[in-house]
Structure 1
Amino acid sequence: MATTADFKNGMCLDIDGNYFFIVEFLHVKPGKGPAFVRTKLKNVKTGRILDKTWNSGVKVDEVRIERRPYQYLYKDDMGYNFMHTETFEQVAIPGESIDGVQFLKEGDICEAMVHAASDTILTCEMPTSVVLEITYTEPGIKGDTATNTLKPATVETGAEVRVPLFCETGDKVRIDTRDGSYVERVERAKS
Structure 2
Amino acid sequence: MTNFNSMNIRKGLYIQWNEEIYKIIDFLHVKPGKGYAFFRTKLKNLITGHVLENNFSAKHKLKKVQIEFDSYRYLYKEINIFYFMNERTYDQIQIEIKLIKNTNIEFLKEGMKVKIFFHVKNEKEKIFLFLKMPSTVIFKVEHTESVKKGDTINNSNKIAVLETGTRLLVPSFIDIGEFVKINIENKSYIERVRKIICNKKN
Q: Shorter-normalised TM-score: what interval?
A: 0.7 to 0.9
Partner deviation per Cα, 1:30-89 (whole Å, 9 max, x = no partner): 987666525454263xx3847452235444223222220111111123521111122222
SS of equivalent to 1:102: helix
Which residue of 2 is the match for residue 103 of structure 1?
107
Which residue of 1 is the match for residue 144 of structure 2?
137
**Percentage of pairs with the same residue:** 26
Which residue of 2 is the match for residue 114 of structure 1?
118
For residue 72 of structure 2, the aligned residue among 54, 70, 80 is 70
Q: Where in structure 1 are there 5+ consecutive unaligned residues?
A: none
SS of equivalent to 2:148: coil
TM-score computed with the length of structure 1 as normaliser: 0.76
Structure 1 residue 54 and structure 2 residue 55: aligned?
yes
Larger radius of gyration: 2
Root-mean-square deviation (CA, aligned residues, Å) is 3.1
CA distance in 1, matches of 2:56, 2:176: 56
SS of equivalent to 1:145: helix
Aligned residue type for 2:100 = S
TM-score computed with the length of structure 2 as normaliser: 0.72
The number of equivalent residue pairs is 182
Change (3 A) 1:77 1:26: same
Q: Where in structure 2 are there 5+ consecutive unaligned residues?
A: 196-202
Partner deviation per Cα, 1:75-118 (whole Å, 9 max, x = no partner): 12352111112222221123342632111111211111122443
Change (3 A) 1:76 1:161: same
SS of equivalent to 1:154: strand
Which residue of 2 is the match for residue 146 of structure 1?
154
